Amino acid sequence: MCNLFWRLIVIITYAQEIYKLVASWHYIVVLKKFTANFERMNKILSCFLLVLLLSGCEKSVVFKLDDTASSLVVDASIENGQPPLVLLSNSLNYFSEISPEILLNSFVHGAVITITDGSKQQVLKEYSYKTAPFVDIYYYTIDSLARNNFLGEFNKTYSMEIKLGDKVYNSSTTIPALTKKIDSLWWRKSPNNPDTTQVILMGKVTDPPGFGNYIRFFTKTGNSGAYLPGLTSVFDDQIIDGTTYDIEVEHGVDRNTKIDPETYSFFNRGDSVTIKFCNIDKTNFDFWRTMEYSYASIGNPFSTPTKVLGNIRGGALGYFGGYAVQYKSLIIPK
């Protein structure tokens, strides 16, 4: 009986240990399942909370831009055989509304503008020119009644002084020699263009030896049209120095109208075309190079900001440029 009793005690003890072991193993399995489920639920909950957080962070941001003081804008030029021509206006804020009335009110009146060629000087007079009913363009040029007037000449430097109230602005430019010229013009069919009425205008140009020959070109069709600059109107001679080469002459563009990039450069059969081919100095080239690059970058979020390199001293914007001009014409047959 004693041995049996002790055997029962041992069996009961082992049974209790086995029960504890099985219970603990079952607990671990359940705990692992619970932990896995909890981690899965925690990830789902975290993603849900993140979405709520991001959607809750949406907020309209309104920038209030300060109005800046307007600056004087100068558009001044002088060509060989022509008097100086100066347009003065006040700059507008970047987000300003544009209307004929606002543009008309932006012209600057009452300025005293003096042009000097080194030996003589002339004070310009303000005139107006009507471009449309109730739309006038104001500009300054020579006083037809003055005796000391002079016209632009090759190889001369000109200085300009603008007095406006208590402010003074200065600039200078050179009309270079007419050394780079168009030798000839011709036209050819536009390849891969379904419109057979459109053609390409070509020109043969001779660049003299030596770097620093800068040009700007304009085109006009018909007898009464305006000379319009090319979309890219200025070029240097870094690559073609001292050579004679053929180049396509693109149609000039009116930047106040919508430009079709597919067709803007073509001329039409029957057009009477005149090219205004200008030799310019480095300062004039830099102004239009940076101006046209800035214009082409409008609306492009990936473009690099460009500073327009004007040559007006005293805090004004714009340029004073000299032009040595050659004209070349061609009638494109129908």
**Four-residue CA torsion sign, 238, 242, 243, 245:** positive
Buried b vs exposed e over 282-293: b needs ≥16 C-beta within 10 Å? ebbbbbbbbbbe
Residue 241: the pLDDT is: 97
Q: What is the pLDDT of residues 101-139, one digit of tens each?
A: 888 889 999 999 999 999 999 999 999 988 777 678 999
More confident residue, 284 or 46: 284
Over 60: is that where the pLDDT of 100 sits? yes
Q: By mean pLDDT, which of 97-106, 145-154, 213-222, 233-242 is the weakest?
A: 97-106
Over 80: is that where the pLDDT of 177 sits? yes
Fold designation for 72-175: Immunoglobulin-like (2.60.40)
Q: What is the pLDDT of residues 10-38, one digit of tens each?
A: 344 444 443 443 344 343 343 344 444 54
Domain residue spans of the chain? 72-175, 181-316+323-331
Residue 98: the pLDDT is: 74
Classify 287 as helix, strand or coil: helix
Mean pLDDT rounded to a whole number for the chain: 84
Which among 288, 285, 249 is positioned nearest to 267, based on CA atoms?
249
Locate 320 and state its tokens. 């004073």
Residue 46: the pLDDT is: 62
